[in-house]
Structure 1
Amino acid sequence: MASPSSAKKLLLLRRTIWRAFRPPLPSFSATRRSYLFSSSLSSMYNYVLEPSSFSSKSFVINPSSSFCSQTPPLNEGSQGPTTIDYRLQLAEDEYHRLANSTIHDLLEKLEEYGDLVDIDGFDVDYGNEVLTLKLGSLGTYVINKQTPNRQIWMSSPVSGPSRFDWDQNSEAWIYRRTKAKLNQVLETELGNLCGMPIKLS
């Protein structure tokens, strides 16, 4: 059992070590990162006193501890992918006006087209801003709005998934990878699948 003098020495040693590693108190304008550093300091720096002597000491740093839980931002010269903010290109209210007009127009024309073709399982449905065109065994088209990206997405049984952006010059939804227009893609694919041309433009 440690003597009172030894316990006092231990207490003084702990205070000395804590003062040596204690950072300055954060100001009101200090960042969250600085706060995380100072608040977790006591858990990162623990010391163990050797049983043979109270005067000798060794430090143990927990390797699982981190100085900050935040992920540092990429440097300006990093090779990370560039994110395009489509919201800067098209205002949200204008996007909704254009996208809703396009999808509602497609809905009407596809319903008329369904009366002309003889396809088992042909069905057009619209709900929750998603247009679904079922062609029985020929497959299913899904067309929906993607507001965060200001895009219209389409899943096609022929060409797969594609994303269309509004092009001011041509006043049409364009797939940037192929420069194809949404209506033209549907006209070509549906005409080939159903054996009858359709005019969507």
Structure 2
Amino acid sequence: MASSCCSRKLLLLGKPLYRVLKRNSLPCSSSMLQRSFISTSTHNKYVLEPSGTISKSEVSRRYCSGSSPLHDASEGPAPIDYRSLLQEDEYHRLANATIHDLLDKLEEYGDSVDIDGFDVDYGNEVLTLKLGSLGTYVINKQTPNRQIWMSSPVSGPSRFDWDQNSQGWVYRRTKANLVKVLEEELEKLCGSAINLS
């Protein structure tokens, strides 16, 4: 049977790779057997040749070219090294300016609305906006990712990246602007328009 043949050949690759392939239930085909696989140890690289024999070889790494569900383009945008987009000092300058500006404007907004439990707090680089029974917003910096994260009682968690073109913090999946999201959600929750720009 083809699957037992494939399993015996995969045993030669080493238990870790065999477990991964077996767990993912990859289909076994003659074209798959013709591909070269590598099992790496601390010092040596071994290649399973199409003939089924293992030979020691100094070759560049090659992997199974079968599709992986982890790299499906429909699952969202590709990862980005955010450190390459913004230098850390520039990130802190932009993020701090945004959060401090939001703090000031949210405090002013609190004076104009009558919501039981309305409170704005800033400490340890975390901005917290409590709206009593309506929920709580938490906005904070995520320096390693060069992002501002927001937890919203309306839209849930979001991660905003600095966008040079719009000069604002934008959620990559929806292209929504942090300030605009807050303005729209607070107007719906509190029944009063707010300008955070």
Which TM-score band applies after superposition, normalised by the shorter structure? 0.5 to 0.7
CA distance 1:77–1:152, change in 2 (3 Å): farther
TM-score (normalised: structure 2): 0.63
Query: Larger C-alpha radius of gyration, 1 or 2?
Result: 1
AA at the equivalent of 1:176: R
Partner of 1:142: 138
CA deviation vs aligned residue, 1:64-103 (integer Å, no higher than 9, x gap): xxxxxxxxx9959684556421101111110000000000
| CA distance in structure 2 between the partners assigned to 1:83 and 1:123 by the alignment | 36
Which of 87, 91, 103 aligns to 1:91? It is 87
CA distance 1:89–1:192, change in 2 (3 Å): same
Which of 181, 188, 192 aligns to 1:185? It is 181
Which of 172, 176, 186 aligns to 1:176? It is 172
Partner of 1:4: none
Aligned: 1:105 with 2:101: yes
Q: Secondary structure at the match of 1:158?
A: coil
| CA distance in structure 1 between the partners assigned to 2:135 and 2:144 by the alignment | 28
| CA distance in structure 1 between the partners assigned to 2:65 and 2:107 by the alignment | 52
| Alignment map for 1:1-201 (pairs within 5 Å) | 33-34=42-43, 75=63, 79=68, 81=71, 83-201=79-197
TM-score (normalised: structure 1): 0.62
Q: Secondary structure at the match of 2:161?
A: strand
Q: Secondary structure at the match of 2:140?
A: strand
Between Structure 1 and Structure 2, how many residues are aligned?
A: 133
Partner of 2:25: none
Q: Secondary structure at the match of 2:42?
A: helix
CA distance 1:88–1:136, change in 2 (3 Å): same
CA deviation vs aligned residue, 1:96-133 (integer Å, no higher than 9, x gap): 00000000000000000000100000000001110000
| CA distance in structure 1 between the partners assigned to 2:143 and 2:65 by the alignment | 30
| CA distance in structure 2 between the partners assigned to 1:140 and 1:181 by the alignment | 19
Name the % identity.
75
Higher mean C-alpha deviation, range 74-83 or range 109-118: 74-83
| CA distance in structure 2 between the partners assigned to 1:132 and 1:186 by the alignment | 13
Instruction: Structure 1: state its 5+ residue gaps.
Output: 1-31, 38-72
Q: Give the alignment's Cα RMSD to 1 decimal.
A: 2.1
CA distance 1:93–1:119, change in 2 (3 Å): same
